[in-house]
Amino acid sequence: MDLSQDTRYQETPVYLFFEKYVLDVIGKLPQDKIEILQQINLQATFGTKANAWKDVIREVLVLSSTIDIAILAQWYKALEQAQNNNTDLDPNIFCKEFVDAYFEENSVIDVWTEKTLEDAKQYIYENQTLENV
């Protein structure tokens, strides 16, 4: 796919990098793609203080310190739903849907109370533990 032809990224190029960020958080970003992202000078592209690619994306999008929890909680919920429906979950589709939902007006994807944040952390821990069994 020619990214210059994809209106999704023409209009908002940072979406592509946020999708890669999400893929990395869920452990589905291939090492060769990580290496490419590390070589791109995103700091100059986006004019940030941060220079590591994930830190640049966090700074540009003003992501909270709990964004990785939000991503993982949504990922494990989507995996659970896919398993219940006997379907496969495509990580790339998940990432696009996550990014779209994150930027929806009045999105609550990364909005927490103390209890919901602790519940999400526990849910992630339980799913990561099952994944490693």
Boundaries of domain holding 88: 3-131
pLDDT in tens, 52-85: 999 999 999 999 999 999 999 999 999 999 999 9
Confidence label for 132 from pLDDT (cuts 50, 70 and 90):
low
Supply the pTM of this predicted model: 0.91
Confidence label for 11 from pLDDT (cuts 50, 70 and 90):
confident
CA-to-CA distance for 111 and 67, rounded, in angstroms? Answer: 9
Q: What is the number of structural domains in the chain?
A: 1
